[in-house]
Structures are given as structure tokens and as C-alpha cells.
Structure 1
Amino acid sequence: MADVEDKHGLSCNSLIEKAIEFAAYAHRNQKRKGTEIPYISHPYAVGMILLKAGCKEEVVAAGILHDTLEDTETTDEQLLELFGSVVLEIVLGCSEPDKGATWEERKQHMLEALKTSNLAIRQVSCADKLHNIRSIRRDLEQYGEETWRRFKRGRESQEWYYTGLIESLGYASRFPLLDELQDEIEQVFGAPLAKPEWSKVRYSQKFIDLAFETAYGNLSDIEERQPKFVKLGAWDLIQHIHERAYPLYPEYQDDFDRLITYLQERGIEFEFNSEGPAILVGFCTVLMRALNMYPHEVFHHFKRGMKRGIL
């Protein structure tokens, strides 16, 4: 594409370059919160995260522009004219509502909206939060708990929001960037896995599918698959899960109740005229706790298991 100079003074040969120039000018007088770092470093980093993840050009451009409507004088009309309806829709989807609302109200609105947002909006929102949480982690390493003083809300509120984001961003479907965000959030807020080596299989569909093939706790099913679990480095993990699921350890009962309610609310029906559902959800409960999973992850695995005919 030949260089194009428009009436806004932008001269560039790609949508992404155009977005960089536009965002750099729009954020020209802004700094990163509590620092002297030019703000443009953040949207540029978000764009690079999306580019590295293989996202489409419009998604990368929207990532670079994601804060322009919320934090600058940029208008919807400008973005539509310069970047098109796809980019505008994504940026709008990543922008918070009325600034007059409380922090909690604005964040809760975003958490609910993201559950039904399209993949492009969720990818940009995820990349945005991924860069933010990485910055927080680096600052915590350098400045300790003083880091939280830079925010309108402290550590407890930030943990509520970031962990809520994982559930909302993955509610409709999982995508690779979400795995990275989940790992970063766990480093900042979450308890580590009981055994660090289990992290190698926490996002492994091969392991999850194999584990669900043993969900009813039949000893023959477990022993038959032992070589495969050993090859994955997860034999001790599957043993850990089954030891606690049949019968379910009392410490898991509250999680069990919440999970079965969640699965039912999302349309999974159980027939409680047999012990099968309790065994199955008990297995899922211990699996979830062992790998620090979120409810939506169990739901998606559960649905895939039903489609495979093993549940």
C-alpha cells in the first residue's frame, strides 16, 4: 500500500502504523500512573502483545487505540473515519461506561459485558490487562506493597477485579492469551499449585481429556491409562485427584456446591436419581482445586467431555 497522508496529518503505510501515530499524538501529554513514563508505552505494548499472538491487523490497531476514547479527546467519529467500523467496535467494547459511576460499578459493568463480548474485544482487553499485571508484578518486586498505593483501590479490590476478569474473559471460550494472563495473575495474587510441575499440564487438553476418561473413578479406567499419565508427568496428579474425590473430602464441599450450581446455571442438567452426578462433580471439584482452575474452565471441559460421549 502506498503511503497515505490524510487530513489529520497521518502519513503511514499500514493500519497499525497509522494507529501508533494517532495514539502517540492523542496520549502525548499523559504519563503512566505514578511514573514519568510516557503513556504511549502502554498501548504500544498492548499492540505488540496482540501482534505476537497472531491477531488480525484490525485487532492490533484497536489494541493500540484502546484507551483513546476513554482517556483522550478522541471521538467515535474520528476512529470510524480513520480506522473503520471494526476497530471502532473493538475500542468501544474495551472502554468503560460513565466515568461518574464508582470504581466498583464501572469494573462490575466490564466484567459482565466481557462475558458476551466477541473474541476480538476479549483479546484486546486481555492484552491490556496482561501488560498491566506484568507492570504490577515488576513494581512489586522492586517496591513491595507500596506499589498498591498508586491505585484508586488497593490490593484486595485489584485481586477481585483481576480474578473476575479471568472468569469473564473465558466465559464464552478460552484463547491462548488468557492462559498467559491467568499465570501472571496467579503470580501476583494466587496461591501456587501444590506441586509446581503440575503447571505443565494445567492447560493441556490431552491431559484434561485423559483425566475426564477416568472421571467416574473406575479403577480399571485409571490403571489402563497409567502409562499415558506417566508420559505426561501427571500420574501423581491424577492419583491426588481420585484419592480426594471418592468419597469427596469434606474440605471440598463448599466448592462442590458452588460448582454444581454454576454448571446448572449454564445449562448442564443432572439426573440425581443415581450417584453418578455427585461422583462426576466431585471429580471436577478436586480437579479444579488441584490446578487452580476457574469455573468456566470446568464448564468448557465438561461440555467437551459430553460431546466426546465419555460423560
Structure 2
Amino acid sequence: MSSIPHELAPRALAFAVRCHSGQRRSSDGAPFIQHPLEVARLLRDAGCSEAVVAAGLLHDVVENAHVAVGEIADRFGDDVAALVDAVTDHSCIESYRERKQVLRDNVRFVGGDVALLFAADKISKVREWPRHRRREQEQLQELPPHSRARRYLAHHHAMRLEHYCKSLAMLERVAPEHPLVAQLADELEHCSAPDRAPLL
């Protein structure tokens, strides 16, 4: 295990802010950095180590800012880099469903802190669900009934919900007693129940 550099989380925060500068959340247009900040707070409040909190801050810099995993290792150590790498989507897999299945399988295989990082990420994403829903409803109003674009939007909505539900099922097997997993279950039940009806 590599040593943890001094003041890891503050440096990870500064780096994440720089990497995500100008990026916006698709759900509501808020600064994207709010998402990794929320993930890091969830991990901190759950008693996770500074390395895991730092990984929470950095978990999207490979996917969204094209930072190499090797650069994360150089700046923040191998442990943080391994955590980030384990929850990063494989963009080379074109199919959304297959890509998310590979991601869930990897989290299940590694387990431990990776599962907690993944759970915190999903809690934050599920909390965005109502905003995504409102945005999708606004888009639907502009689309002709029974159009391909309308069907695509409904399909994407359904696949995202499926991924969240399958993520919870996987986490309940990997870390059934952890409070973050219970919190994800509560958030998913609260936020998605009104949205299970088809968008069409």
C-alpha cells in the first residue's frame, strides 16, 4: 500500500475544482463540482479514510476531464488512483447497458472501499433524479407523440433507473450492513417511486 501524501483531501479538492471548471450537471445546469463534493461529504460522514474521501472528490476526473489514472497516482498515490480507476466507466464499450454491467461487476469483484465509493456516487446521482425527470418532461413536451426521439428519451430514462436498481442489488450483496447502502435504498425508493410509470 502506498503512503498517503500530506493533506490529501484538500489537494484533491483543489485538483477536482480545476478539472471540472466550467462543467455543468446535465440535470439542472449547476456546477458539476457539486456532485463530487456531495460524494466526498457522504464518505466523510460515513467515517471513511482520507484516501477514500479524496477518491470521492476525484472519482469523475478520468471520465469527465480525461485525466490519466497515472497522473492521479503521481499526485495522490496508488491507493487513491486504484479507487478512482475501479469506479470509472469503460468508454470503449458503446452499449450503455453493457458498460454499466461491466462497472457493477468490477465494483462487486473489488468490494471494500470501492463499493462504498460507488454507493456514495449513486446516492448523489439518485438525489438528482427528480431534476432529471423534470428536464425530461420538458423535453417531451417539445417532441411529437410516438416519435423516435420520444421513444429514445423514455428508453434512456428506463435504462438509468435499471442501472440504479441493479447497483443497489449488487451493493446489498457486497456490503449489506453498511449505512451507505441502506441510505441508497431509502433514496432510491423515495426518488424513483413516482417515476416508475413510462414517460410515453
Q: Which of 174, 179, 186 matches 1:176?
A: 179
1:108 aligns with 2:101: yes
Is the contact made by 1:148 and 1:154 (CA closer than 8 Å) also made in structure 2? no
Over the matched positions of the two proteins, sequence identity in percent amounts to 27
The aligned counterpart of 2:160 is 158
Structure 2 distance, partners of 1:98, 1:139, is 22
- Tell me, yes or no, if the aligned pair for 1:94 and 1:125 is still in contact at 8 Å: yes
Question: Residues 188-207 of structure 1 correspond to what in structure 2 (within 5 A)?
Answer: 188-190=191-193
CA distance in 2, matches of 1:54, 1:17: 17
Cα distance in 2 for partners of 1:101, 1:78 equals 25
In structure 2, what residue type is equivalent to 1:32? R
Match of 2:116 in 1: 123
**Which structure 1 residue ranges, 5 or more long, are not aligned?**
1-11, 192-311
Would you tell me which structure has more helix in proportion to its own residues?
A: 2
Q: Distance in 2 between matches of 1:76 and 1:118?
A: 19
Which residue identity is paired with 2:187? E
The 1:170–1:116 alpha-carbon spacing in structure 2 relative to 1, beyond 3 Å, is farther
Q: Give 1:136's aligned amino acid.
A: W
Q: Partners in 2 of 1:152 and 1:95 — Cα distance?
A: 25
Does residue 68 (structure 1) correspond to residue 58 (structure 2)? The answer is no
Aligned ranges for residues 29-48 of structure 1 at < 5 Å? 29-48=22-41
Larger Cα Rg: Structure 1 or Structure 2?
1
TM, length-normalised to structure 1: 0.52
- CA shift for structure 1 position 93: 0.5
The structure-2 alpha-carbon separation of the partners of 1:145 and 1:73, relative to structure 1 and needing over 3 Å to count, comes to closer
Q: Is contact 2:93–2:99 with CA below 8 Å preserved after alignment?
A: no
Deviations 1:117-137 (A, max 9, x none): 221111111111101111213
Query: TM-score by structure 2 length?
Result: 0.79
- For residues 189 and 73 of structure 1, do their structure 2 counterparts lie closer, same or farther at Cα, with a shift above 3 Å needed? closer
Counterpart for residue 148 of structure 2: none
